[in-house]
Structure 1
Amino acid sequence: MGEKVEKGVTAPRRVTRLIRLPEVQHRVGLGRSTIYRWMADGKFPKPVQLGSYAVAWAEDDVDTWVECRLSKKT
């Protein structure tokens, strides 16, 4: 009843936050239209659907995108 877990074996679990558009805009410094246009062009990560009209981005995806952009400048 339940999963058997070996003692002494612990894998760290990483929790990914989901962030909404205003926070994404703040982090990347882009407007809504640019974000959605770049998503359509495959230049920006796509969000996950939360409900009928609600979407959010995985924080890790946005952070990785920012890091990639910064590394291209150097």
Structure 2
Amino acid sequence: MKARIIRIADIASTPSKPGILPVSPATIWRWVRDGKFPQPLKLSAGVTAWRANDIEQFIADSSPAIA
């Protein structure tokens, strides 16, 4: 079974496009740096993504904090 992946453009929100989470890409990267968000996968030099299961688990674990 293939693991689903999610790119930051789908996770983070921008003024023109809402994402899965109501935070900016900079906030996602800050959370990664601080150990508050799952580590991404480096798929190639210009492609970074997250396992969908990791993002779903993050949301489930922290939903009271972001709701």
Q: Same fold (TM over 0.5)?
A: yes
Structure 1 position 72, deviation (Å): 5.9
Q: Which has the higher strand share?
A: 2
Structure 1 position 47, deviation (Å): 0.8
Q: Which amino acid aligns with 1:24?
A: I
Aligned partners of 2:65, 2:24: CA distance in 1, in Å? 21
1:30-41 superposed matches below 5 A: 30-41=23-34
- State the aligned residue count: 60
Aligned partners of 1:40, 1:65: CA distance in 2, in Å? 15
Aligned partners of 2:35, 2:42: CA distance in 1, in Å? 17
Runs of 4+ in 1 over 4 A off after TM superposition: none
Structure 2 residue ranges without an equivalent (≥5)? 13-18
What TM-score results when the alignment is normalised by the length of structure 1? 0.72
Q: RMSD in angstroms over aligned alpha carbons?
A: 1.7
Max Rg structure: 1
What TM-score results when the alignment is normalised by the length of structure 2? 0.78
